[in-house]
Structure 1
Amino acid sequence: MASAGNSVLVVGLGRFGSAVAQTLNDLGQDVLAVDRNPVLVARWSNVFNVVEADMTDVLAVDQIGAQDFTKAVVAIGDGIEASVLTIGNLLDAGVTDIWAKSVSKEHTRILQRMGARHIISAEADAGKRVGHLVAGEYLDYIEIEGPYTVVKIHTPASMANKTVGQAHVRERYGITIVGAITPGLDFRHGDEDTVMHRGDELIVLGLQDQIDRFIRD
Structure 2
Amino acid sequence: MGRIAAADSVAVIGLGRFGRALALELMASGTEVLGIDASEDIVQDLNGQLSHVVMADSTKEDVLRQLSVHEFDRIVVAIGSDVQSSILTTSLLLSFRPQHLWAKAVNDAHGRILEQLGVQHVIYPEKEMGKRVAHLVRGSMQDYLEIGDDFALVKTKPSARFVGTPLGQLGIRAEHGVTVTAVKHAGERWTYTTADTVLAPDDVILVAGETRKAEAFGQLR
Question: Taking structure 1 as the reference length, what is the TM-score of the superposition?
Answer: 0.93
**1:188 counterpart = 2:191:** yes
Quote the offset at 1:161 in angstroms: 1.4
Contact persistence 1:133–1:140 (CA under 8 A): yes
Q: Which of 107, 110, 117 in structure 2 is aligned with 1:107? A: 110
Q: Which of 148, 153, 156 in structure 1 is aligned with 2:156? A: 153
Quote the offset at 1:109 in angstroms: 1.4
Contact persistence 1:157–1:198 (CA under 8 A): yes
Helix, strand or coil at the partner of 2:188: coil
Helix, strand or coil at the partner of 2:73: strand
2: CA distance between counterparts of 1:90 and 1:132? 35
**1:216 counterpart = 2:217:** no
How many residues matched?
217
Contact persistence 1:66–1:95 (CA under 8 A): no
Matched residue, 1:72? 75
Quote the offset at 1:163 in angstroms: 2.0
1: CA distance between counterparts of 2:101 and 2:175? 40
State the AA in 1 paired with 2:119: A
Helix, strand or coil at the partner of 1:106: helix
**1:27 counterpart = 2:29:** yes
1: CA distance between counterparts of 2:15 and 2:79? 8
Quote the offset at 1:56 in angstroms: 1.0
2: CA distance between counterparts of 1:145 and 1:151? 14
Matched residue, 1:37? 39
2: CA distance between counterparts of 1:213 and 1:76? 36
Structure 1 vs Structure 2 CA RMSD: 1.6
**1:46 counterpart = 2:48:** yes
1: CA distance between counterparts of 2:111 and 2:199? 41
Contact persistence 1:12–1:34 (CA under 8 A): yes
- Deviation sequence 1:141-173 (CA, Å, 0-9, x none): 111122111111110122121222111122222
Quote the offset at 1:191 in angstroms: 2.2
Contact persistence 1:162–1:197 (CA under 8 A): no
**1:128 counterpart = 2:131:** yes
State the AA in 2 paired with 1:182: H
**Greater per-residue strand proportion:** 1
Question: Taking structure 2 as the reference length, what is the TM-score of the superposition?
Answer: 0.91
2: CA distance between counterparts of 1:207 and 1:183? 27
Of all paired residues, the percent bearing the same amino acid is 35
Gaps of at least 5 residues in structure 2 are none
Contact persistence 2:141–2:155 (CA under 8 A): yes
- Deviation sequence 1:93-132 (CA, Å, 0-9, x none): 1222011111101111122222222222111111112222
Contact persistence 1:155–1:200 (CA under 8 A): yes
**1:141 counterpart = 2:144:** yes
2: CA distance between counterparts of 1:42 and 1:121? 27
1: CA distance between counterparts of 2:220 and 2:165? 16
Quote the offset at 1:213 in angstroms: 4.0
Question: Structure 1 stretch 66-75 or stretch 189-198: which is displaced more?
Answer: 189-198
1: CA distance between counterparts of 2:78 and 2:112? 16
Contact persistence 1:155–1:196 (CA under 8 A): yes
Gaps of at least 5 residues in structure 1 are none
Quote the offset at 1:4 in angstroms: 4.2
Cα distance 1:212–1:46, how it changes in 2: closer, same or farther (>3 A)? closer
